[in-house]
Each structure stands twice: as structure tokens, then as C-alpha cells.
Amino acid sequence: MKGVAILGSTGSIGRSALEVIRSNPGRFRVVALAAGDNTELLKEQAEEFKPDFVSVSGKEAAARLGKILKAPVGAGVEGAEEAARCKGADVVISAISGAAGLLPTLAAIRAGKAIALANKETLVLAGALVMEEARRHGARIIPVDSEHSAVFQSLAGHRKEDLKRVVLTASGGPFLNKPVQELDNVTPAEALKHPRWSMGRKISIDSATLMNKGLEVIEASHLFGLPGARISVVIHPQSVVHSMAEYVDGSIISQMSVPDMKGPIAYALSLPERIGGVTKPLELSGLRLDFMEPDLKMFPCLALAYSALQAGGTAPAALNAADEEAVAMFLNGRIPFTGIYRVISEVMGAFSPKPIKTIEDVLEADRIARLAAASVKALS
């Protein structure tokens, strides 16, 4: 039986992971759960799966939960790190949203765990450092993002020297066919209505701006050891082809399935096996597949991500921090939808990237970029 720790258990990835575990009794055991502020759901999860350790964001909530649950309860970053290192965890699902997932994921890597990585920000912020730590500690990183899982599967059994490029697919989000001039007036509620996937608020907005895909380009660069020039993005509204690998002989190998995150989660948990019955089968009869190049006037955030990857060092960390702040501003009604790009662009235009030598370099870049984003003026 494989022991599983879930960082971000009350989020969409965490809940889907527990569905996979619930439907496969005897195959997995939950040994640790870490979550943020949703203590009621965490309590329900802990009572059902009976982990050895539980962690929440606040100390007061941890004290309350500790009186209810029989398992020890931690708090904050330290609690999430303890969950990541939990004895008995063969696989750690890293699904804490945003930059907050970096330190707990590093803790799991340094403990030599297999990492089912759903937190792309870990590699966006500190990709080279994280991959080096994984090599040093023998920690295998298995991607859970549907796009990177698809590339991972499309590369299996092939020589890396035969690879020409990888192609990440994007649905285009809710505004794919909306005129650019109307984007200033879209509401947070409209931006959160993703046409294909059920996701958290931040990642849903990133999908609408295509920043999510830009961050995935940076993540793919570190996961697969490729420069940005060998990572392409295409719009694929049906979200059936999750990504592709193109080889030097012109062959393109893809992974296709219905859009359901339980598929890549189950694959990461069960590797090298595959679990049947996790997702509905893909109906091929009448299937339509459309692909198109992204319009950078509609999705200028994608170009910012490629530029940050090219700049290297702490530039991707600053990009991610500025994006997190800008998305929060939009969701809180402080800036229009198009203001997200303008905030990030202004921050990145003034930011001077530095080489990453330690994790403190990353955290400092994150801090500076957040302060810069908060000070951006005149975004109406």
C-alpha cells in the first residue's frame, strides 16, 4: 500500500486526489493532509481518511482541530513542511496554490519523497535550484498538471535527442472569441467561468489571461530541460489533446483524454501502473479537434512569461509574484481585467533579475515584486 501526503488537500487538486484514493481502497493510504483556512472540510477529510498528521494555516485553528482529531495538528509553513516530510509518505502531492507551495515542496524533496507536482510555482520561482535539490536527494518529480503529465507520457520510451519540441495546449479560457476592446469591462464572475475545467479562483483567472500557460512554459523548461524556443503553445478549445511532443522525423505524439484532473493525478500516484475506471472513456466518434496560434494582443501575458524565462535568474519569481498580486487586485475590484497585464508589465519593466544562489534570493525577489505591484498607479 502506497502512503500519500497531500499538500493543499481542500483545494480542487487535493479533493480530486482524495476521490482517486477513495475509489481505490487498499491501494493507497493517506498519511498526512495540509490545508489553508478551510478547517471544516479538512476536519471531514481527516475524520474519513485518518492521517497520521494534519496541518492548517493558523495556530488557533490548529489548536481547535487538535482537540477534535486524534492526529497531531501543525500550523503555518512549518506545519505544511512537517506534513511534506511525514514518515510513511511514499508520494507527496504538492497542490498548495501559488508561491506558498515552494517551501513545503522543497521539504518533501529534501526528504527524498516522490513528488506529484501540481504546484507549478515551485518550478517557476526556483526551477534550477529545485531540480538540483531533487537530483541531490533522489526525489523523483512526476508532473500532475494535465499538460506536463501529457508531455511526460508522450516522452516515455523515446530518446531525448530525437525530440524537436513540446507543444502545450490551452483552452483559450472564457474570452477566446471576445473582442479585445471589450476585455476592460469583464467581471470577475465572468472570468472565473472556465469553459472546460473546474479550478480554483487564481488559476481560473490565469487561464483567462493565458498567464497560466506562460507559467507552464517556464515549468516545462525546467521539468524537461528545454529552452523556451523549443516549447510552443497552441489554443485547443476542446481540451482533449492535453499536450504533444514533436520529434525530428515529423512525428507528433500526444496524450488525449476527457478533461478531468483525476486522470493525471491517478497516473502520478500509481506510476508505473495505470488505474482503470478513474475517468470516463474518450468518445472518438464525431470528435473534433481544433488548434490555433494564440493572439498575443488578446493574451499579452503569455509574451511576458517567455521574456521572464529568457531573462532567467529571479525574473520568473518576480513575474509570478506580480501576477498573484494583480489577480488579487482584479478579484477584489481594484483594477479591470486588462489591468492584470499592465500591473505585471510595469513591475517586470522595472525589475532587475539576479542569479539564484539560495532560496532566499527567490523569496527576496518575490517580496520586491509584490511591493512593486502594490504601488502601481493609474490602472483605470
What CATH code is assigned to 312-380?
1.10.1740.10
Q: What is the distance between the alpha carbons of residues 2 and 24, in angstroms, rounded to a whole number?
A: 11
pTM greater than 0.85 (yes/no): yes
Number of Cβ within 10 Å of residue 367's Cβ equals 13
Domain layout of the chain by residue ranges: 2-143, 148-311, 312-380
pLDDT tens, 265-298? 999 999 999 999 999 999 999 999 999 999 999 9
Q: In the chain, pLDDT over 70 holds for what percent of residues?
A: 98
Report pLDDT for 380. 44
pLDDT tens, 27-79? 999 999 999 989 999 999 999 999 999 999 989 888 988 888 877 999 999 99
Residue carrying C-alpha cell 490548529: 62
CB 8 within 8 A of CB 101: yes
167 Cα distance to chain centroid: 17
pLDDT tens, 198-254? 677 888 999 999 999 999 999 999 999 999 999 999 999 999 999 999 999 999 999
Homologous superfamily (CATH) of 2-143 is: NAD(P)-binding Rossmann-like Domain (3.40.50.720)
Report pLDDT for 151. 98
Please say if the pLDDT value at position 371 is more than 80.
yes
From start to end of 64-129, where are the E strands? 73-75, 91-94, 114-117
3-state secondary structure 50-73: CCCEEEECCHHHHHHHHHHCCCCE
Q: What is the distance between the alpha carbons of residues 125 and 362, in angstroms, rounded to a whole number?
A: 7
Sign of CA dihedral 73, 268, 266, 230: positive
Same fold: 2-143 with 312-380: no
Residue carrying C-alpha cell 513591475: 347
Mean pLDDT of the chain: 94
CB 35 within 8 A of CB 56: yes
